[in-house]
Amino acid sequence: MNKLFYGLAIVLLMLSCSGSDSPVVEEELKPSNEFEELLDEYNLFNTGAQFESGKIGLDTNNIYFNGRIKDKLIIKGFNKKDKSLIFSHEEIKLDTIINIDEGYGVSSTHSISDFLIRHIHKSEDNYVLLLWGMANGDQYLMNRQSLTSHLYLISDKNYNSIKSFSIPASSFYFTGVTPWFNNSIIVSSTTLHVDYKKWTCYTLDGINQFETSNFNVSKYYTPISLEDCIAFRNNFYRINVKTNKILWESENPLSDLPSDIRKDVIVFSQPKDGYVNCEIKYTQKDGKRGERTYKVSIATGDFTMVE
């Protein structure tokens, strides 16, 4: 019997020695979904950071990703064509636990589990970033009371942060960013349970310039000051976006063309010497294409065609 135990001990010893000599092979992590494949394409997969979402910039040649290590926000931006890194910021500390005073002596605590980049806009050497935070992984806002929004204004030297919350339900949260005059921005906000919106103009250092509940502007426009812009629908018009007051309207510059033309491209140039230029490309019903450029007076709305 002693010989049997002795033999078993020798076998176990040999097995343990052979196991210790074998190299430990770690299984290589591979992307398991489309987002992880995208991260891998930009060398962000399996880097130790938890990347949560990506977003094409207002300049569609660029793409940005948001992630975090513990409670620190990480933003990485890349040129889509050559995959070169164009922006990196890791100085922002995220609020993952939020205490809300709901009034009447009631307070609540919310844990933000997911962050989603919504808008990112580059203005010279500055960046404007709109980030949503959601509880319980609610990226589709099925329970929108868990939503918070953070507006970050980032420069090379520092950053400013403006925050809004969806709790209590009467509060506003940020929904969009529009580039505006002289590197300022207009940020849209909405409420949860009431069909009401507002727009706020901020400078890039976070100073509130004005608020309005009406931003009744055509999608074709160019700002000429913090409050005024010139836009085009069927004619040129100048509007004060703060008061929603139209200051002047012009005649229809395309009145000599058939009324059923399709407007393909309408682009304003920046204001200069009291005028803006507006280039209009169009297609007629018979397929004939044309384009015109108009020089429009900022003061009066008078316009002339540029040859």
| Mean pLDDT, range 57-74, rounded to an integer | 89
The yes-or-no verdict on residue 2 having pLDDT over 80 is: no
SS3 state at 36: helix
Q: How confident is the model at residue 44 (pLDDT cuts 50, 70, 90)?
A: very high
Residues 6+ apart with CB under 8 A from 15: none
Residue type, 90: E
- Bridge-based pairing of strands 228-232 and 221-223 is antiparallel
Q: How confident is the model at residue 79 (pLDDT cuts 50, 70, 90)?
A: very high
Distance CA 220, CA 233 (A): 7
What pLDDT digit, counting tens, does each position of 101-117 carry? 767 888 777 778 888 89
What pLDDT digit, counting tens, does each position of 80-97 carry? 999 999 999 888 888 888
Q: How many residues does the chain have?
A: 307
Distance CA 52, CA 36 (A): 10
Distance CA 263, CA 291 (A): 10
SS3 state at 268: strand
Give the rounded percent of residues in the chain with a pLDDT score beyond 90.
45
Distance CA 35, CA 179 (A): 28
SS3 state at 234: coil
- Tell which residue, 232, 142, 231, has the closest CA to residue 192: 142
CA angle 72, 126, 158 (to 5 degrees): 50
pLDDT at 25: 52
pLDDT at 133: 84
Distance CA 283, CA 18 (A): 78
Kind and range of the H or E run holding 97: strand 97-103
- Residue 278 · residue 266 · CB < 8 Å: yes
The yes-or-no verdict on residue 193 having pLDDT over 70 is: no
| Mean pLDDT, range 169-182, rounded to an integer | 83
Residues 6+ apart with CB under 8 A from 304: 294, 295
pLDDT at 154: 86
CA 12, 15, 19, 21 dihedral sign is positive
Distance CA 116, CA 149 (A): 9
pLDDT at 138: 47
pLDDT at 288: 93
Give the rounded percent of residues in the chain with a pLDDT score beyond 70.
83
Kind and range of the H or E run holding 17: helix 2-21
The yes-or-no verdict on residue 15 having pLDDT over 80 is: no
- Of the listed ranges 150-159, 194-203, 279-288, 296-305, the least confidently predicted one is 150-159
